[in-house]
A and B are shown apart, each in its own frame.
Chain A
Amino acid sequence: MRITFRDVSYTYMIGSPFEKKALDAVNLTLSSQTFTGVVGSTGSGKSTLMQLINGLLLPTTGQVQNGDFILHRKSKRKYVKQVRRQVGMVFQYPEHQLFGSTVEEDMLFGPKHLGLDIEKSRQRFPDLLELVGLGEEILPYSPFSLSGGQMRRVAIAGVLATHPKVLILDEPAAGLDPAGHRALLDLLRDWHDQHGLTTVLVTHDMEDAARYADEIVVMDEGKPVISGAPTDVFRQADQLAGLGLDVPASVRVSRAMQAAGWEVADTLLEPEALAGVVIDQLSTVRKEG
């Protein structure tokens, strides 16, 4: 589903002395079936932007279009719920949403409350659990008896259980060790590819944005300031630095290599690919030398 923001502004606690404009006249389109990375410093409005997509927040002004659904300030509760049926959302620390006495009960929460076919959903649980790296034998256990990593996987399975067309991931890997971090994002990217989803990943890790996203949107002070393919976005390293943002290590390395007169195309982003180039060039240098 294509997601379009039209002149969207959002102000928290409007009319109080704590009033805070979090988004300021945002115009942005996220194309259907792309994996978009949203980056930006803390407080730049990333989470607010995400919550507007499924109507957890309704825009103060402007409208958010989600496929054929249009959300605005006065959207009705029932209508918003229809939108939520299309959109799955994984928050930071998704394991905090677990409540059921069994994993199964917890995973059924979404399908039940969004009015999906319970039996059909239940039949998919074993596959879902396998996808997130767990087994179906876990279904009768209490989610609170699991380890932190397992709890997070269960929570994510609980979100995927509604088979959303749009998946919003707001720093889903926060607090995981590097291996768990990679494994989690790998599986979410695989799920995205297999099901042709429209996915938005909020992250402040530029390596993640480079590795997983097809498109990158850079937020600053409530506005998208740079967007485009990762290669194009990361070419603007100076501008990013001005926003307090880094570029991935592989980009820094290839820039340094270019500056030193090496032949490196500036489209490289995968560290592995870059390492290949370095090895190639080193062996040429050795042969010639």
Chain B
Amino acid sequence: MLQNIVIGQYVPVTSPLHRLDSRSKLISLLALAVIVFLANEFWSYLALLATVVLFVALSRVPLRFFVKGLFPVFILIVFTFLLHAFFTNEGYVLFSILGFSIYSGGIEQGVFIAIRIGSLVILASLLTLTTKPIDLTDGFEFFLRPFKRFGLPAHEMALMMSISIRLIPTLLLEADRIMKAQAARGADFTKGTMKTRLETMTAFIIPLFVRSFKRAEDMATAMDARGYRGGEGRTKLRVLQWRLQDTIACIVVGGVGVVLAILRDF
């Protein structure tokens, strides 16, 4: 049933990366997404790979979570690798297969591109694996705030995000309970004719909707009762704190950028 769904991706362990402010992690990720594209020859790719490995080690997140994140893009990585391997005609011929000559340059390019995509995915996963969704929203709000003057409802967007995030576990629990209640009455969610499956789904979805609307209503009432009037002049309970470690993190990322820029072939 739903018991194995992990909410968000956050892995609650303690590590230097977990302790960082969400803003420094957002900035770093953005910078790294650019830096990844600086790598263009052996040593720069090696430096990139070393950086990724270092960050993964620093996060103390078990490796299988990264594997899980990589899995959906695995096909993409394999496909681009093959594309490069088959269609690049640089370097010397390594061997021939199905009438194609595989060049050393092709393999090299394939490996490089695979590293590039893999690094991007792993770095992005690092952010969500080490940052609580709620801190992430606060970070987003911080960076969206300047756009308020152009009419972007930054506070409302962040509130919507954090309410959704807050309610996901509650709704999953609710969904699990409803599913089990109907299963106890004989509902089978995986097998059966179209007609019984349809009724089973109805018996699941209707109560879930009813409960969600009820919850939304309760939440709105509770917010009203507490005098919620929107973002103007509100202070925060959890204040994001930029510390020395965050500055250091950004400098380290900048350093990686500089190293890659020096190593790359122009």
A residues adjacent to B (C-beta < 8 A): 12-13, 16-18, 51, 54, 56, 77, 81, 84-85, 87-89, 91, 94, 96-99, 109-110, 112-115, 144, 158-159, 162
A109 near B184: Cβ-Cβ < 8 Å: no
A16 near B207: Cβ-Cβ < 8 Å: no
Minimal Cβ-Cβ distance residue in A for B200: A113
Q: Which of B69-77, B82-90, B175-183 contacts A (4 or more CB under 8 A)?
A: B175-183
How many A-B contacts are there with CB distance less than 8 Å?
81
Minimal Cβ-Cβ distance residue in B for A92: B177
Q: What chain B residues lie within 8 Å of A97 (beta carbons)?
A: 178, 181-182, 185, 203, 207
| 9 pairs from A and B in contact (CB 8 Å cutoff) | A17-B11, A56-B180, A84-B183, A87-B184, A88-B184, A89-B184, A113-B188, A159-B185, A162-B186
Q: What chain A residues lie within 8 Å of B62 (beta carbons)?
A: 17
**Nearest Cβ on chain B to A9's Cβ, whole angstroms:** 16
Question: A96's contact among B3, B11, B177, B200, by CB below 8 Å, is which?
Answer: B177
Find residues 1-43 in chain B having any chain A CB closer than 8 Å to their own CB. Answer: 1, 3-4, 6, 11-13
**Nearest Cβ on chain B to A142's Cβ, whole angstroms:** 11
Minimal Cβ-Cβ distance residue in A for B206: A99
B182 near A13: Cβ-Cβ < 8 Å: no
The verdict on B164 contacting chain A, using a C-beta distance below 8 Å, is: no
In the complex, what distance in Å separates the CA atom of A115 from the CA atom of B12?
A: 45
Q: Tell which of A51, A94, A97 has the most Cβ of chain B within 10 Å.
A: A97
The verdict on B202 contacting chain A, using a C-beta distance below 8 Å, is: yes
- Count residues of B near A (Cβ-Cβ below 8 Å): 32
The verdict on B190 contacting chain A, using a C-beta distance below 8 Å, is: yes
Contact bitstring B160-185, A, C-beta under 8 A = 1, else 0: 00000000000000100110111111
In the complex, what distance in Å separates the CA atom of A96 from the CA atom of B211?
A: 7
Question: 3 tightest CB-CB pairs across the interface, nearest first?
Answer: A113-B186, A114-B186, A97-B181
B6 near A18: Cβ-Cβ < 8 Å: yes
The verdict on B187 contacting chain A, using a C-beta distance below 8 Å, is: yes
**Nearest Cβ on chain A to B185's Cβ, whole angstroms:** 4
A13 near B3: Cβ-Cβ < 8 Å: yes
In the complex, what distance in Å separates the CA atom of A144 from the CA atom of B203?
A: 14
**Nearest Cβ on chain A to B209's Cβ, whole angstroms:** 10
In the complex, what distance in Å separates the CA atom of A89 from the CA atom of B186?
A: 11
A54 near B184: Cβ-Cβ < 8 Å: yes
Q: What chain B residues lie within 8 Å of A18 (beta carbons)?
A: 6
Minimal Cβ-Cβ distance residue in B for A12: B3
Given A13-B3, A91-B177, A113-B196, are A158 and B185 neighbors across the interface (CB < 8 Å)? Answer: yes
**Nearest Cβ on chain A to B175's Cβ, whole angstroms:** 11
Contact bitstring B35-57, A, C-beta under 8 A = 1, else 0: 00000000000000000000000
Q: What chain A residues lie within 8 Å of B3 (beta carbons)?
A: 12-13
Q: What chain A residues lie within 8 Å of B188 (beta carbons)?
A: 77, 81, 113
Given A16-B6, A96-B177, A99-B206, are A56 and B185 neighbors across the interface (CB < 8 Å)? Answer: no
